[in-house]
Amino acid sequence: MTLKILLTDATERLTQATSSKGEAQAMVRMIMEHLKGYNPADCVIHSTDSVTPWLEHEVNMIVSRVEGGEPIQYVLGVARFMGNDFKVTHDTLIPRPETAMLVDMITDRNSQRTDLRVLDIGTGSGCIAISLAKALKFAQERATDISPAALEVARQNAAALKAGVTFALEDILSASAPVDAYDIIVSNPPYIAESEAETMESHVKDQEPASALFVPDSNPLLYYKAIAAYAIKALSPAGELYLEINPLFADELSAMLRESGFTEVELHPDFYGKTRFATAKKPANG
């Protein structure tokens, strides 16, 4: 069998599975990059090569798992975020492209600073903390998560990407805040209300860690309230808070941040036009 036939067959099966030819083609690109280090041009150059039984077996196994509903990133064990490959497992959320906007906002606003102390709460795969550590010069980065398994993945990612981040096991719901310890606190905490799960695709709700996705309907701001209470103490005067948020609760969230003592509370859209981020400042004299 030639490479061309193998990949045409894989693309067809993935198109059936995902109902999107574009997505299927993107997955085939990821699979070939992962298995052979081939870019799309290499696939064309090698299209008439006959494939090894190993490659045929691997491609078919990966395609079958995606057909079974597993996200391709979990099957390959890797997700791309801001130009870097991050290890992901079922213990970590798959980094989303929107989250890169949060990282960009922080680096754009702080490109002149060289001495920042940064905390990422609920780091998961470590994608935010590690991307920041690579982008900000001489920043001191700390990242916490409640999941030991996620922290292990984050540690491996930091080592592989040579990012200086200190990781710690911590539950934000019970953490006691240090005083004046950080200049920037960032978090993308769980924010999907359990009732929203009905409308979600199964490759998200049945595959990604529920503890990283969901909050009770009765208290959708659960983590944000804990983060705000922590951050208003732990931030330095004029320190900045950056949050990824649920558009459904944006107004409630900005009111809560103001009540907690933050100023300059601003909401920002993602590239789909959804209100996806909130930024706020601890008062300079606070």
The site for ligand GLN (CB under 6 A) is made up of 93, 95, 99, 122-125, 127-128, 188-190, 212
Closest to ligand GLN by CB, 59 or 192: 192
Least spacing, CB of residue 91 vs ligand GLN, in Å: 10
Q: Which residue has the CB atom at the shortest distance from ligand GLN?
A: 124
Residue 225's CB is within 10 A of a number of other CB atoms, namely 17
Closest separation in Å from C-beta 223 to ligand GLN? 9
CA proximity to 78, closest of 129, 12, 34, 123: 34
- In the complex, minimum distance from the CB of residue 44 to ligand GLN, in angstroms, rounded to a whole number: 34
C-beta closer to ligand GLN: residue 99 or 275? 99
Smallest distance from ligand GLN to CB 267, Å: 18
Task: Please identify, using beta-carbon distances, which residue of 30 and 88 lies nearer to ligand GLN.
Answer: 88
For tokens 């009905």, the residue is: 198
Select 46 or 80, whichever has its Cβ closest to ligand GLN: 80
Q: Which is nearer to ligand GLN, 3 or 192 (CB)?
A: 192
Supply the minimum distance, in Å, between the C-beta of residue 230 and ligand GLN.
16
